[in-house]
Amino acid sequence: MRRFLLSFLLPALLVISGGTTLPAQNKALMDSILRVLPSVKEDTSKAKMLIDLGWEVSYGDLEKGMVYCKEGLALAQKLKYERGESAGWNALGTIYHDLGDYSKAISAHQTAIRLRRNQHDPTKLGKSYLNLAIVYYSMGDPRRCIEFLEQAVEQFKMGKLESGLCVTYNDMGTAYYDLDSISKAMNYFLLAEEIAQRLGHASYLSGSLGGIALCRAKTGDFAGADIAINEAIRMLRENQMEYDLITRLEALAIIRKSEKKYDAAIAAIQEAMTLTAKIGKTDSRKNQLFQLSEIYELSGKHDKALEVYKQYTALKDSLFGEKNQRHIREMDAEFDKEKREREIESLKHDKEQQELIAQRQNLVITIAITALVFLIAVAILLFTRSKSRKRANILLTDQKAIIEEKNKSITDSINYAQKIQQALLPTPSEFNRSGMREGFVFYRPKDIVSGDFYWMAVRGDSIFLAIADCTGHGVPGGFMSMLGAALLNEIINDKNLAEPAAILDLMREKVIVALRQSGTAGESKDGMDMVLWRFDKNEKQLVYAAANNSFYIIRDGKLLEQLPDKQPVGYHAEQRPFKQHTVKLEAGDSLYGFTDGYADQFGGPQGKKLKYKRFQETLLKNWALTMDEQDKLLSRAFDTWQGNLEQVDDVLVIGIKI
């Protein structure tokens, strides 16, 4: 069926040019533009006017619309009007698509994307990604289509363009329907319907209803499918939207075919073909011929089925010739190559920044070594001036004994501090009693005591779990971790605060008071980065707040990063209340909280940082295993990467299976 599901992608074409979303029925507007066009001077306004005119005209006459768009594009190029160029390529890409020239459509949309990346307008860049996705869908590649749709969603969210999100969700539903992921498809259609209702947009709403109708028919709910598809067609007829009506009629034919109402299916597809011929949409005609051939075959009209199928094959061969396909593959490879080159350039910039930091560190080390050498020289000079070698030896022996005694005392104190810190950490039995299904804790301090810590408490039907990274490691970090655990106990268990954001706000106030921080130069900048989770058992949801510490949720093999507030639990120059977030949890979700020690470890063949990308790859590779197995594999991967190098920071990773 997938050749016909393109129908729900087509409403996306209505938002690409920035012009009107109505078809070319607005004849009065076009006539007025045509009258004034000859008198308009050759400037950017005329270029934009030509492109918008071409876009409007293309609804009724694709070839004529293409002429105006090309004229507008040529003028924009002559004037070096980059926004006009990108709009022109975008409009041409859509017209080429409707004419069935996929090679030129891809080339045009890729050119528009290259231009729009530098224009800092996420909504227009999102529209170009959306239109490129449509071309790949028309070519029968829904997975590649979804890749670009996801990029479109990201841009529309940045630009807060609800109409773009509505169209893209409709298209995501169509692509997942084509992949037989009916549940995902229905979810996206329902999201799109909600936005379309809010916007009051008939075209978008008809697309959502058409998708919902197909999903219902797929699951055998033909009564529900009829209600949805009839409503979609009704509103399009009322608004005289013939362009969109074509696609809803194709969907109606699919539903009637599923019900074995072949005469009704033929009537629907023939009406769609009549409208298609009126507009000149070659791509839609190809899909309709295939569908009509299949309906004839199922209804026992084999001669007609063969005749129509031959027409379909001839048209398909003209659209998908080997030379055309090879050109498309070459453009696709070039586009991916450019993407990789941008990523490499970004990595190169990061490397230069790291080298600059390393140079500064080397300067500090050089100064420190010089000072140390000077001190040693002074010590040697004083020693050589000693009057009595024997007395000096005795003195040194005594001093050595004192130092060893003090060192032992300090070591014993640190070991005892470790016992205290360990006593503050939740035990495996406490995790089990909390009701968590399955989990692990990978905890590896750099020194005897750690600046990383985790903390847990159970209150009623809620489980609190904190993962924190305090300033420093060793003894200073250990003191900070004990302060953090003590404050969590006080705020949650004694003061009975339950909202993670409010808990972090109060905890920050107490840290600032405890460390006497006011923001003046030279004072302590200590604090902690932290994520605080609250699991609500009855609600099956996670409520959290985070300070400089993100965490991951892996759902169905896809990693979802939950971003933090960019401020610590401690003094910060631009201090703001912490934000609270709620995430609905699903059975099988895996949650991973962590500090930066794992990703910052140096090692590997070239002694570089492990980084978060490798950390994420390890999690994604093993998330389906038991938590015990994941714990072992994380530990093994860390040891392998570290090799013989020194551990650079405390390491803490906690995993929980829902």
395 has pLDDT over 80: no
Nearest-angstrom CA–CA distance, 251 and 8:
9
Q: What's residue 537's pLDDT?
A: 82
394 has pLDDT over 90: no
Q: Tokens in use for 426? A: 């939740």
277 has pLDDT over 70: yes
Per-residue pLDDT averaged across 218-244, rounded? 91
DSSP characters over 609-626: E-HHHHHHHHHHHHTTS-
Q: What's residue 562's pLDDT?
A: 96
pLDDT digits (tens, 9 = 90+) for 583-631: 999 999 999 999 999 999 999 999 999 999 999 999 999 999 999 999 9
Q: How many CB atoms lie within 10 A of CB 458?
A: 16
Per-residue pLDDT averaged across 411-437, rounded? 69
Q: What's residue 638's pLDDT?
A: 96
Q: What's residue 5's pLDDT?
A: 36
CA-based nearest residue to 11, from 182, 168, 139: 168
DSSP characters over 181-236: -HHHHHHHHHHHHHHHHHHT-HHHHHHHHHHHHHHHHHTT-HHHHHHHHHHHHHHH
Asked if 623 and 653 count as a contact pair (C-beta separation under 8 A), the reply is no
- Phi and psi (nearest 5°) for 452? -95, 140
Residue 452: strand, helix, or coil: strand
CA-based nearest residue to 339, from 114, 85, 83: 114
8-state DSSP, 291: H
CA-based nearest residue to 85, from 58, 123, 124: 124
> Which residues are paired to 609 by β-bridges?
602
Q: Which of the pair, 88 or 312, is modelled with greater confidence? A: 88
DSSP characters over 483-495: HHHHHHIIIIIIS
CA-based nearest residue to 656, from 528, 531, 546: 531
Mean pLDDT lowest for which of 142-151, 399-408, 550-559, 636-645? 399-408
Mean pLDDT lowest for which of 203-212, 220-229, 408-417? 408-417
Mean pLDDT lowest for which of 277-281, 340-344, 605-609, 637-641? 340-344
Mean pLDDT lowest for which of 24-33, 516-525, 544-553, 607-616? 24-33
Highest-scoring range by mean pLDDT, 135-144, 405-414, 420-429 = 135-144
Q: What's residue 168's pLDDT?
A: 96
- Phi and psi (nearest 5°) for 290? -65, -45
Mean pLDDT lowest for which of 32-41, 341-350, 370-379, 418-427? 341-350
Q: What's residue 59's pLDDT?
A: 81
Give the percent of the chain with pLDDT over 70: 80
Instruction: Return mean pLDDT, the chain.
Output: 84
User: Which pLDDT band, with edges at 50, 70 and 90, does 67 fall under?
Assistant: very high
Q: Which of the pair, 477 or 271, is modelled with greater confidence? A: 271
276 has pLDDT over 80: yes
Catalogue all structural domains in the chain, each as residue range(s) with its CATH number: 5-318 (1.25.40.10), 425-657 (3.60.40.10)
Q: What's residue 38's pLDDT?
A: 82
From the number of C-beta atoms within 10 Å of its C-beta (0-12, 13-18, 19+), residue 259 rates as middle
Helix-strand-coil split of the chain, %, nearest 5: 65, 10, 25
375 has pLDDT over 80: no
The 10 Å CB-count burial string (b at 16+, else e) for 156-183 is: beebebbbbbbbbbbbbbbbbbbeeebe
Mean pLDDT lowest for which of 5-19, 200-214, 406-420, 527-541? 5-19
Q: Which of the pair, 115 or 428, is modelled with greater confidence? A: 115
Q: How many CB atoms lie within 10 A of CB 284?
A: 26
DSSP characters over 561-600: EEPPBSS-EE--TT--PPP-EEEE--TT-EEEEE-TTTTT
Q: How many CA atoms lie within 13 A of 384 on its CB side?
A: 6
pLDDT digits (tens, 9 = 90+) for 443-483: 999 988 888 999 999 998 899 999 999 987 667 878 888 89
Asked if 174 and 254 count as a contact pair (C-beta separation under 8 A), the reply is no
pLDDT digits (tens, 9 = 90+) for 157-174: 999 999 999 999 999 999
Angle between helices 222-238 and 242-258 (to 10 degrees): 160
